[in-house]
């Protein structure tokens, strides 16, 4: 199990992933994470992982702010998190939880990505993988 967060506000362009600077809890050896990165490698083959992500998000201009959980560079459509921003700095808390089964041929990589079309501000993000 691993729980990550970031202590500073981030501005993400479309397609850019969140980074995490703080490991809140890490037990076992099934997840691998490099401090300061945004990727967690799930090393257990054929396992079921529960993944939760959340953050305060807003677009840097009026529009839709969007984050999604990605596995191996592909979005999980059921994890799209959106907030319509009326004015810059207007943040809202969003979160999603899902489960995946890793394949039998290698590790899977999990990231949280700005999957929208506008630049967004992200504060207090968290990523929980178990």
Q: Please list, in sequence order, all residues whose beta carbon lies within 8 angstroms of the beta carbon of residue 81, skipping any fewer than 6 positions away.
A: 53, 54, 55, 57, 66, 67, 68, 94, 95, 96
What are the pLDDT digits (tens) for 17-70? 999 999 999 998 899 998 889 999 999 999 999 999 999 999 999 999 999 999
Does the structure show a pLDDT above 80 at 130? yes
Average pLDDT over the chain reads 94
Structural domains in the chain?
Answer: 2-129 (2.60.120.40)
- The DSSP code for 17 is B
- Phi and psi torsions of 79, nearest 5°: -110, 10
pLDDT over 70, % of the chain = 100
CA dihedral 6, 10, 15, 17 (to 10 degrees): -10
């Amino acid at each position: 199990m691993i729980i990550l967060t970031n202590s500073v506000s981030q501005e993400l362009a479309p397609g850019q992933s969140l980074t995490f600077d703080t490991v809140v809890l890490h037990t076992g050896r099934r997840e691998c994470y490099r401090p300061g990165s945004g990727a967690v490698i799930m090393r257990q083959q054929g396992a079921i992982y529960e993944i939760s992500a959340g953050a305060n998000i807003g677009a840097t201009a009026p529009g839709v702010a969007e984050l999604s959980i990605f596995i191996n560079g592909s979005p999980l459509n059921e994890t799209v998190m959106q907030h319509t921003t009326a004015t810059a700095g207007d943040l809202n808390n969003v979160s999603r939880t899902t489960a995946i089964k890793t394949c039998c041929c290698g590790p899977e990589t999990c990231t949280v990505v700005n999957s929208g079309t506008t630049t967004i501000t992200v504060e207090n993000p968290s990523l929980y993988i178990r």
